[in-house]
Amino acid sequence: MSSSADRGSGRRAQDPAVRTLLRALVALLAACLVAVGGAASAQAAVPSDDLVKVFVVADPAQTGGQLATLQSIAADTLGDASRSGEIFDLNRGQAQKDGGALNSPDDQLHPGWILRLPQDASGPDVRLARDTGTQGATSAPPASGQDSGQQTSAPGAQQSATFTFPLAAAVAVLGTILLALVTAGIVGRRKVRIAYDALRRAVRRLGEPMRRRRRLMQRQATGRRFATDADAVRRAYGTLGEFAPTRQRPERPVHALRVDSTGVTVWLAAADTADAPWTNVDGTRWRRPAAAANWLNRGEETATTAQAAVGSACLVRAGTDADGEPVFVDLSRLDGVLSVGGDQHVARDVVQNVLAEIARTRPETPVTVLRGAEGALPLTVPQGLRQLPRVDAPAPAAPAAEQGTVRAGATRRPVRGLVVVAGTPGEAAAAELAALCGPGGAGWTGLVCGEAAGAHWRWRTDADGHVDIPVLDVRLTVPA
């Protein structure tokens, strides 16, 4: 009995020492990784004196037949087409590998040309090159789709790469590994697993601020892109015309669209189909290449003209998918109210982006803002929309208990006005929301930053800047 008790007492006496050793190990590992990672990140983040940003002109066969211009490059990489003159000044008279040169802002660009960009350029088409100050390109440009973070040859470019690992850091890492192995033999697998999980959480916490800033910059770039990309809006509205009712068949509702440089994808009802050249991607998605509709030769048609041809449709870009392409939804099919829950900041960004989209395509749309729960983040009505302090709505017909603010499934109704609720609506705001947006109401469309009882469309956001749209089974990145 005494021997067993002594052994149990010895194990209990060792537990504090083991915990202290684990804490020291975690702290040492975190310090080494942060020091080595910080030094490597600092070395990678500080460019050499001759490192520049460039744009490689792609072959039209890879971009759906569109050849880049100075204006399109400025819009994609600088967010402002009017800055094309800066790109011209940086490349005036610079010899390209095919012997040509850019001598006038109106000169046609040639596939394979490598154009220098201002240092504040950003986006998926921006690449890095090392400028030696000489004329001529040293190698061919990379293939289309290459990662924008890779270096590429430019006029007067010479590729070189070196990597150094400090001896002190190597010794520290080796010592840490040896200490981890010794500790593993002492405390066993379970203790090592606890230490590993604690270390992983600590390293993740250290890197989270940098990841959050990077995500925010990407979302802000998406917002600038939406503000200048009128061609995507034109193509989206033009696509709706292909599904308008005819004598042979009724209208096929298009609930969402994805527009990119090579074609268009639409979300239809599961029972609907599309004729050739449309091809089925899955049960509800259909795809058509851009060349099949001759979009590249219809530049004279404006977004307003295409919009007028489809009547009450109200398309807004809800965000970008995993490939960075915009996805449109039709607000006229919301069935009354859109409820955006989850992270408060991202939910507000969703509603602010929808308002900005409507301000660009449907100016002077009336908007009234209702106050929701206490502490809700404020919303700003963009210029171009007509904000009303209050709207007198008719008393709504008494809906069934299960209906709430749902009007009628999959029935298109014009967006006559917008009711925006900052935060989950209270009793008074919910009643006013039902009067304006519910069955028998004024026919307005509600946008709620929070949970709205009876809402048919419910989107869910997270702190990483994503929004899930269950009706479409998609996850998008929200502009900021």
Token output for 7:
């052994």
- Higher pLDDT residue, 12 or 434? 434
Residue closest to 375 by CA, chosen among 432, 424, 428, 430: 424
**To the nearest whole percent, how much of the chain has pLDDT over 70?**
70
Confidence of residue 28 (pLDDT cuts 50, 70, 90): low
- pLDDT at 264 > cutoff 80: yes
Confidence of residue 87 (pLDDT cuts 50, 70, 90): very high
Residue 354's pLDDT is: 95
Residue 469's pLDDT is: 93
- pLDDT at 209 > cutoff 90: no
Token output for 157:
């470019």
> Which of the given ranges, 298-302, 372-376, 476-480, has the highest pLDDT on average?
476-480
Query: Would the pTM of this model clear 0.75, i.e. be above it?
Result: no
Confidence of residue 186 (pLDDT cuts 50, 70, 90): low
CB-based contacts of 92-96 (< 8 A; 24+ apart in sequence): 94/135, 94/155, 94/156, 95/135, 95/136, 95/155, 96/137, 96/155
108-114: average pLDDT: 89
205-226: average pLDDT: 86
181-189: average pLDDT: 66
- As a whole number, the mean pLDDT across the chain is 78
Q: Which residues contact 179 (CB under 8 A, 6 or more apart)?
A: 25, 28
- pLDDT at 334 > cutoff 60: yes
| Spans of all domains in the chain | 14-44+166-228, 47-130, 334-344+353-462+464-468
